[in-house]
A = this chain, B = another copy of it.
């Protein structure tokens, strides 16, 4: 059983690494996917119903696979991308692959809330579709997207516990290995406190940022 504070620090650092990198990847690709989902539906900006259905299905497939299975199924891909199937970077791949469709669905909801009148305004001023994306959809949905990213981050911190299974470590993994599997309540509680602090910081930061960005009222 770990007697040193080091264990926690290392674990916290691993979690931060895993989650921040995965969140960044998920944010970028998830947002792109969300834009695809929102703009390619029938009657939408880019109206490619066929593409829309394909993208929607792919997202559904990835969201269907339980994370632990995804972790395994992705091993060859993980090896291809980061050169190894164990360690923090190996955890980033499945976390991102799970995070992308998750965040895509969440961001999709916020993007759909954007007032059509604003889209028309930008179209009327000679904006092209990319201008609509860039000047209307993204900035207007931004507060919601930030809140959605917060939700994604917190969910990812949870999933990262399972990523411990590929030897990435992290707070969640420590909680499971030391606390849960060795019945060491003390370690578990300490780690959980760490997790609670981390989640609270993320949530609060997300809330504050979303409020700052919201100029609607």
Chain B residues near A200 (CB-CB < 8 A): 57, 60, 64
Whether the pair A61, B196 counts as a contact (CB closer than 8 A) is yes
Q: How many copies does the complex hold?
A: 2
A19-40 contacts to B, CB under 8 A, are: none
Whether the pair A196, B147 counts as a contact (CB closer than 8 A) is no
Residue A109 interfacial (CB < 8 Å)? yes
Encode A90-120 as 1/0 by CB contact (under 8 A) with B. Answer: 0000000000001001101110110110000
Whether the pair A199, B63 counts as a contact (CB closer than 8 A) is yes
Residue A157 interfacial (CB < 8 Å)? yes
Given the known interface contacts A110-B109, A113-B144, the answer about A199 and B60 at a Cβ–Cβ threshold of 8 Å is yes
Closest 8 pairs between A and B when the two form their complex, measured CB to CB: A66-B161, A64-B199, A64-B195, A116-B217, A64-B196, A109-B147, A66-B172, A60-B200
Q: A68-B161, A108-B147 are in contact. List 19 more A-B contacts (CB 8 A).
A: A60-B199, A60-B200, A60-B203, A61-B196, A63-B158, A63-B199, A64-B154, A66-B176, A66-B195, A67-B158, A68-B176, A68-B180, A69-B176, A72-B179, A109-B110, A109-B147, A112-B143, A112-B147, A115-B217
**A residues in contact (CB < 8 Å) with B:** 56-57, 60-61, 63-69, 72, 102, 105-106, 108-110, 112-113, 115-116, 143-144, 147-148, 150-151, 154-155, 157-158, 161-162, 172, 175-176, 179-180, 188, 192, 195-196, 198-200, 203, 210, 214, 216-217
